[in-house]
Chains A and B, each alone.
Chain A
Amino acid sequence: MSRRLFRKFVNLLALALSGLATAVGLLFLGAILWTLAKDGFAGMSAAVFTQNTPPPGSTSGGLLNAIYGSVIMTVLGIAIGAPIGILAGTYLAEYGRNSPLSAVIRFINDVLLSAPSIIIGLFVYEFVVVPMGNFSAISGAIALAIIAMPVIVRTTEDMLNLVPQGMKDASTAMGAYPWRTITSIAYPAARSGMVTGMLLAVARISGETAPLLFTALNNQFWSTNLKAPMANLPVVIFQFALSPYDNWQQLAWAGALLITAAILVLSIAARVAVSRLGPGSGRK
């Protein structure tokens, strides 16, 4: 084979393999979604949304308490994590843009962003559960807040950095103090990007299982007490999927479908928000 043909052959082979790799990646996505849809819809019924998790041996039951618990803890997690995350992101982007402290915090935030979530669970266990004396929904929400925070810090900082300096300068020239410029000019300009960050944070924490295992634990019954263990979808899926009961496994699949559907909708919504509105729709 001539050198030229050989080079062409290598080229074709490499490009074909890269196409193949992409096909493999998409195949896994397809396979997982297909299994989820098949087994998830099979396990879906009105009871899933109207009944609590069943005791062992029972043939009925649903996921009502787990869905409620997941929603409550996710909302609480964001309610705790978002204000702190936005304020910290504001410091990094505005007040401390070039300070050495910010460089350190940025780095720490990046590390927290990819730290294993089970470590956060252990931390909250030591820091909240042990002093409180029992597992509780509030400790689960705190664990989720800590996981959501780095995501929000990161997007807030990035979005504030996209706001044109001229806009902020104009506000300053009018005599506004920085807090006024930030809250009345920068935040509105960066709003859609910050909302996107929040959606991504919700998507991230609503499927988290490991940090809830030893904070919120699980609860077979309906509970609205934040100081007591609370059922939640991920931990229920974990326990039910590994159980020997058929109806538990079916419920696990139904729960898995619910979570995945919610997260995919959130992620797609976040993307649409960015591409439709741009990172800062307010400034156009």
Chain B
Amino acid sequence: MSSAEAFETHLAGQRLRERIFRGSTLAAAVLLLLLLGGVVVSLLHGAWPAFSRFRLSFITHDVWNPVTDSYGALSAIYGTIVTSALAMIFALPVSFGIAVFLTELAPPWLKRPVGVAIELLAAIPSIIFGIWGLFVLAPLLQASVEPWMDSHLGAVPLVGALFQGAPYGIGFLTAGIVLAIMIIPFISAVMRDVFETVPDVLKESGYGLGATTWEVIWKVVVPYSRTGMIGGIMLGLGRALGETMAVTFVIGNAHHISASLLAPGTTISAAIANEFTEATTPLYTSSLIALGVLLFVITFAVIAAARLMLLRLGRRALASV
């Protein structure tokens, strides 16, 4: 074989390897697409018996009764929305404060350790938050906060109903607080990253006009980073809506709609986690998967919106999520 021929064979081998490597990277990338498609198709397939049996009443009925094999998701949807809303109310101010502290206030030597500590909070698995909520937070709330709410806030007109009832320790309020603790690191990390994209020149011109630090934050930094902040908040909301283990421990698992935040309830994810392996009839299993479809639709919408908003900032702002 001449050297030219040897070179030709070598090149052919190189081309073959190139095709194989390129093909496998493409295949892996397309697999991600198929994965999402597979999730949608398989969930819909599993949920079909429940949806075709109950139709729209699946989301408008609040009766969840395995004995009569009749299922309505309203109480779980209600619980998911209430706990997530509570979590956002608690988490937003704290996350904003942390982001402000980390970007504008903390001396350089404090910035990194505190930032890392907050990020470590994000790495703790949700089941740990769950047992902590059940064994530490719930008894605490039951003994002190909830009786106080019942006796002091329970009689207030209009909002009183939110705080009435026996202090169980577990319920919407506890779940909301645990969720808030869980999403604070996510929201504050995104906010911090977004705040850091604000050009120094903008802030300096604020200071140059005589603004205080707070005025620069509120009137320069916040307006500049509004889209990114909302994206981060919605990312946190997506987590809160879909969070399972932390909530399952402290929500009480009662398919119940009650005005009081102190009452036990359930969420979509908690119902699935609690009942799936115990589901005795095919319709029961299918109804739980149908709950999964609802959760998927809700979280997909929220996460997709959040990602689209954050897309504008480029990918660096998302690195910590």
Contact = CB atoms under 8 A, between A and B. Distances in A.
A146 interface: yes
B168 interface: no
Contacts of A118: 242, 244, 269, 272-273, 292, 295
B118 A29 contact: yes
A84 B35 CA distance: 12
B4 interface: no
Main secondary structure of the interface of B (DSSP, over half): helix
Contact of A119 (B43, B101, B106): B43
A102 B295 contact: no
Contacts of A271: 116
A88 B290 CA distance: 31
Contact of A117 (B20, B42, B244): B244
Contacts of A188: none
A111 B128 contact: no
Interface residues of A, number: 92
A10 B214 contact: yes
Interface string B109-136: 0000010111111011111111110111
Nearest to A101: B29
B94 interface: yes
Main secondary structure of the interface of A (DSSP, over half): helix
Interface of A: 7-8, 10-11, 14-15, 17-22, 24-26, 28-29, 31-32, 35-36, 39, 83-88, 90-92, 94-96, 101-102, 104-105, 107-120, 122-123, 125-127, 146, 149-150, 153, 158, 177-180, 182-183, 203, 206-210, 213-214, 217, 234, 237-238, 241-242, 252-253, 256, 259-260, 263-264, 267-268, 271
Interface of B: 14-15, 17-18, 20-22, 24-33, 35-36, 38-39, 42-43, 45-46, 93-98, 100-102, 104-106, 114, 116-121, 123-132, 134-136, 181, 184-185, 188, 212-215, 217-218, 235, 238-239, 241-245, 248-249, 269, 272-273, 276-277, 289, 292, 295-296, 299-300, 303-304, 306-307, 311, 315, 318-319, 321
Q: Which 5 A-B pairs have the closest CB atoms?
A: A207-B125, A21-B97, A116-B242, A87-B28, A179-B21
